[in-house]
């Protein structure tokens, strides 16, 4: 039997026929004294002054805390960090870094009731321009790459121009303005606009509470990320507390071949994020590496690049697993909450599977998705078309086993299946009875490497 985390409770499945491997991360044991280790790195941070010294003369302190999509001991981490801050509670503001994610109720923030009552807490919303402040620009990047990209997109679109024009006019005359907006925003016009913006200097707009603070402390988690390489570090600024006008061009850079799962070096998306973070003076990170079992394994603190890279070393030792690419016809992936909350988050499980699956294969995603879809337009056009298709070989089907109605699943690039066995029946019919199966139960904690 194989246990898939799935969601609110695990799912048990029988070993599928032709099971080639069950790939799990190389978890290290959790720390026996998390708070003690945290105090050590706050006193002796990497590449930065000790936190107590940085906080000494600060009048306003902003503490950025990752949104509920990241799980680490947030209350414990904040309480220890608070010991190093001489400021009264009224001079400390907590900002929940939602980036583009929806704001969730406070019981899901991961903070104690005492913290919620004592401190001013801001739920960052990326569309609220009035809550933002410009702090500078990131440099020109990828100009030559995106000139080629624009040229290729124009050539491709000209081939399909007649059909696209007919579809556009049909939507227009039937007053389907939502479809018209979609074609403009995320069709050829939208891609060309974003490609142009991605190649230019980018205006960095971030939450005023962060921009106007004398000291900014970011509490986050380091784990694999499908286009930023690894989460944590500068991601607390961009996208964490940035405006959508800053996030959009940055995230469009996921189209670059170096913007991939597990890649930090020369990753243009992360370079752009770090250029934005460089505009924030007195910026101090506290990042935790969690095992797939939910235990803190390492904590780093200090400079948003140097400390982050120190944490990434441990993350790589745990999460990067040697396994040949394009080595199985069928790949089953799953993960626990919060990844399993909705389809938007569950798409993160597809990237490692896409490295392993063969052309013409099938990926089966088993996640409960109690919170629903999470935005079909973004899932299909931004995550799938711009991001995941770069990993996927040709003619791969993606099936979703969840608690959602079929009609909701069908709004996305996934096909619905009611059980893993049903999904496997489809996969073996497509790929043949001798098709080999690989299972990644903790897919977002797994980076297949060759």
pLDDT digits (tens, 9 = 90+) for 43-96: 999 999 999 999 999 999 999 999 988 899 999 999 999 999 999 999 999 999
Q: Could you tell me if residue 28 is inside a domain?
A: no
Do 67 and 46 share a structural domain? yes
In the predicted model, is pLDDT for residue 239 greater than 70?
yes
- pLDDT score recorded for residue 381: 77
Number of domains in the chain: 3
- Residues whose CB is less than 8 angstroms from the CB of residue 157 and which lie 6 or more positions away in sequence, other chains included: 164, 188
Read off the pLDDT of residues 242-273 as tens digits, 9 standing for 90 and up. Answer: 999 999 888 888 888 888 999 998 898 999 99
Q: Could you tell me if residue 174 is inside a domain?
A: yes
- pLDDT score recorded for residue 154: 56
- pLDDT score recorded for residue 379: 86
Lowest-confidence segment of 7-11, 127-131, 162-166 by average pLDDT? 162-166
Do 227 and 111 share a structural domain? yes
Q: Mean of the pLDDT values across residues 389-411?
A: 93
Question: HEC string of the chain?
Answer: CEEECCCCCCEEECCCCCEEEECCCCCCCCCCCHHHHHHHHHHCCECCCCHHHHHCCCCCEEEEEECCCCCCCHHHHHHHHHCCCCCCHHHEEEEEECCCCCCCCHHHCCCCHHHHHHCEEEECCCCCHHHEEEEEEECCCCHHHHHHHHHHHHHHHHHCHHHHHHHHHHHHHCCCHHHHHHHHHHCHHHHHHHHHHHCCCEEEEEEHHHHCCCEEEEEEECCEECCCEECCHHHHCCCCCECHHHHHHHHHHHHCCCCCCCCCCCCHHHHHHHHHHCCCCCEEEEEEEECCCCCEEEEEEECCCHHHHHHHHHHHHHHEEECCCCCEEEEEEECCCCHHHCHHHHHHHHHHHHHHEEEEEEEEEECCCCCCCCCHHHHHHHHHHHHHHHCCCCCCEEEEECCCCHHHHCCCCCEEECCHHHHHHHHHHHHCCCCCEEEECCHHHCEEEC
pLDDT band at 215 (very low <50, low <70, confident <90, very high): very high
End-to-end CA distance of the chain: 27
Do 414 and 278 share a structural domain? no
- Residues whose CB is less than 8 angstroms from the CB of residue 343 and which lie 6 or more positions away in sequence, other chains included: 367, 369, 372, 373, 374, 379, 400, 402, 404, 409, 412, 414
Residue where one domain finishes, among candidates 255, 289, 319? 319
Read off the pLDDT of residues 349-369 as tens digits, 9 standing for 90 and up. Answer: 999 999 999 999 999 999 999
Q: Could you tell me if residue 306 is inside a domain?
A: yes
Cβ-contact 357, 290 below 8 angstroms: no
Which residue segment(s) compose the domain that 151 sits in? Answer: 143-198
Do 58 and 178 share a structural domain? no
Q: 177-186 and 188-198 helices cross at what angle (nearest 10)?
A: 40
Distance CA 232, CA 219 (A): 9
- CATH number of the domain encompassing residue 410: 3.90.226.30
pLDDT band at 165 (very low <50, low <70, confident <90, very high): low
- CATH number of the domain encompassing residue 80: 3.40.50.11440
Q: Could you tell me if residue 416 is inside a domain?
A: yes
Pairing of strands 296-302, 283-290: antiparallel
In the predicted model, is pLDDT for residue 181 greater than 60?
no
Is residue 415 exposed (0-12), middle (13-18) or buried (19+ Cβ within 10 Å)?
middle
Buried/exposed 51-78: b ≥16 CB within 10 Å, e otherwise: beebbeebeebbbbbbbbbbbbbbbebb
Distance CA 199, CA 80 (A): 41
pLDDT band at 103 (very low <50, low <70, confident <90, very high): confident
Q: Mean of the pLDDT values across residues 439-449?
A: 96
Do 425 and 379 share a structural domain? yes
Q: Could you tell me if residue 46 is inside a domain?
A: yes
Instruction: Give the percent of the chain with pLDDT over 90.
Output: 72
Q: Could you tell me if residue 29 is inside a domain?
A: no
Q: Which two tokens stand for residue 98?
A: 């939602």
In the predicted model, is pLDDT for residue 190 greater than 80?
no
Do 126 and 187 share a structural domain? no
Read off the pLDDT of residues 117-126 as tens digits, 9 standing for 90 and up. Answer: 999 999 999 9
Q: Mean of the pLDDT values across residues 23-47?
A: 96
Q: Could you tell me if residue 189 is inside a domain?
A: yes
Do 161 and 133 share a structural domain? no
Q: Could you tell me if residue 213 is inside a domain?
A: yes
Do 247 and 106 share a structural domain? yes
Our CA angle for 105, 374, 353, nearest 5°, is: 120
Residue where one domain finishes, among candidates 198, 213, 241? 198
- pLDDT score recorded for residue 142: 63
Do 148 and 130 share a structural domain? no
In the predicted model, is pLDDT for residue 153 greater than 60?
no
Do 432 and 355 share a structural domain? yes
Share the mean pLDDT of the chain.
89
Do 376 and 233 share a structural domain? no
Q: Which two tokens stand for residue 152?
A: 């290729």
Residue where one domain finishes, among candidates 183, 198, 213? 198
Q: Mean of the pLDDT values across residues 147-170?
A: 57
Do 261 and 130 share a structural domain? yes
Cβ-contact 138, 272 below 8 angstroms: yes
Tell me if the pTM is above 0.85.
yes
- pLDDT score recorded for residue 101: 81
């Amino acid at each position: 039997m194989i246990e898939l985390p799935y969601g609110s409770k695990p799912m048990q499945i029988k070993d599928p026929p032709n099971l080639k491997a069950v790939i799990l991360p190389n978890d290290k044991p959790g720390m026996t004294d998390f708070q003690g280790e945290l105090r050590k790195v706050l006193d002796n941070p990497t590449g930065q002054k000790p936190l107590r010294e940085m906080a000494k003369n600060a009048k306003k302190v902003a503490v950025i805390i990752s949104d509920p999509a990241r799980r680490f001991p947030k209350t414990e981490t904040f309480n220890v960090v608070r010991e190093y801050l001489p400021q009264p509670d009224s001079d400390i503001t907590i900002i929940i870094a939602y980036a583009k994610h929806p704001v969730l109720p406070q019981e899901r923030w991961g903070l104690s009731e005492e913290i919620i009552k004592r401190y001013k807490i801001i739920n960052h919303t990326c569309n609220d321009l009035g809550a933002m402040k410009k702090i500078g620009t990131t440099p020109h990047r990828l100009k030559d790459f995106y000139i080629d990209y624009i040229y290729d997109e124009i050539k491709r679109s000209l081939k399909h121009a007649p059909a696209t024009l007919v579809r556009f006019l049909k939507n227009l005359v039937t007053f389907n303005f939502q479809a018209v907006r979609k074609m403009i925003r995320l069709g050829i016009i939208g891609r060309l606009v974003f490609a142009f913006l991605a190649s230019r200097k980018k205006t960095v707009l971030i939450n005023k509470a962060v921009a106007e603070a004398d000291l900014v402390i970011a509490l986050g988690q380091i784990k694999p990320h499908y286009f930023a390489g690894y989460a944590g570090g500068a991601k607390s600024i961009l996208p964490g507390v940035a405006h959508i006008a800053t996030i959009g061009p940055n995230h469009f850079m996921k189209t670059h071949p170096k913007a991939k799962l597990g890649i930090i070096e020369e990753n243009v998306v992360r370079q752009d994020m770090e250029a934005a973070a460089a505009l924030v003076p007195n910026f101090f990170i506290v990042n935790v590496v969690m095992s797939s079992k939910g235990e803190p394994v390492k904590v780093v603190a200090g400079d948003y690049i140097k400390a982050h890279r120190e944490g990434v070393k441990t993350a790589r030792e745990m999460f990067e697993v040697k396994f040949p690419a394009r080595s199985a016809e069928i790949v089953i992936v799953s993960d626990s909450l919060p990844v399993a909350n909705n389809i938007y988050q569950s798409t993160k499980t597809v990237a490692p599977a896409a490295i392993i699956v063969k052309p013409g294969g099938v990926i089966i995603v088993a996640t409960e998705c109690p919170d629903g879809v999470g935005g079909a337009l973004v899932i299909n056009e931004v995550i799938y078309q711009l991001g995941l298709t770069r990993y996927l070989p040709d003619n791969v089907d993606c099936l979703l086993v969840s608690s959602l109605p079929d009609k909701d699943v069908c709004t996305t690039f996934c096909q619905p299946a009611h059980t893993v066995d049903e999904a496997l029946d489809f996969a073996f019919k497509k790929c043949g009875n001798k098709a080999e199966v690989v299972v990644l139960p903790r897919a977002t904690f797994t980076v297949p490497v060759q």
